[in-house]
Amino acid sequence: MLNLTQLPCHMLVLGGARSGKSQFAENIIISTNAAPHQVTYVATATVIDDEMEHRIAHHQQSRPSGWALVEEPVSITKVLANKSSSEHLILVDCLTLWLNNLLFNELSDEQIERQVDALCDVIKSSSATIVLVSNEVGQGIVSDNALARRFVDLSGRMNQKLAQAVGTVVLVTAGLPLYLKGGGT
């Protein structure tokens, strides 16, 4: 069991789809033994079809019921700014869905880059413990679809900026963590 002083202040958890990254991030928060009222789960997913509704339900069932839930598909920087005290633990799942939401709100690449920069600024200035979950999407072939290539490019740049903004970066593959930056907890 970790106490709050052992947890890195800010952590980015990367991994592919179904890699175990969300469960790993949740377990990091659970291992602090923080009171449920201290934990806020920021969910960026939106129900767009039956399959996504099922994924959301699975995530809802896996996390402790006492955690506060904020469903925010776009304005996560405002949520983080409002919960910036050192008593808060915040889990944001998932930044690639957030990026997807920004794309489908028809933001330009420059507007998205500004959103990512603003997120990094809020993270750097926050006293809260923040655990961010994001997909690593750039390890496959280059798509023949322009929107998919744009998403991969923006996602890769987002993850690089976030990795610079946090103290710990973990890559989860097959449920196993590999610490890329910062020490293992």
Is residue 20 annotated as involved in ligand binding? yes
| HEC-encoded secondary structure of the chain | CCCCCCCCCEEEEEECCCCCHHHHHHHHHHCCCCCHHHEEEEECCCCCCHHHHHHHHHHHHHCCCCCEEEECCCCHHHHHHHCCCCCCEEEEECHHHHHHHHHHCCCCHHHHHHHHHHHHHHHHHCCCEEEEEEECCCCCCCCCCHHHHHHHHHHHHHHHHHHHHCCEEEEEECCEEEEEECCCC
37 among known catalytic residues: no
Is residue 50 annotated as involved in ligand binding? no
Is residue 118 annotated as involved in ligand binding? no
Is residue 83 annotated as involved in ligand binding? no
Is residue 181 annotated as involved in ligand binding? no
Is residue 45 annotated as involved in ligand binding? yes
Active-site residue, selected from the candidate residues 10, 37, 54, 59: 59
Is residue 182 annotated as involved in ligand binding? no
Is residue 174 annotated as involved in ligand binding? no
Residues annotated in the binding site, as ranges? 15-22, 43-45, 71, 93
Catalogue the active-site residues. Answer: 59
Residues annotated in the binding site for GTP, as ranges? 15-22, 43-45, 71, 93
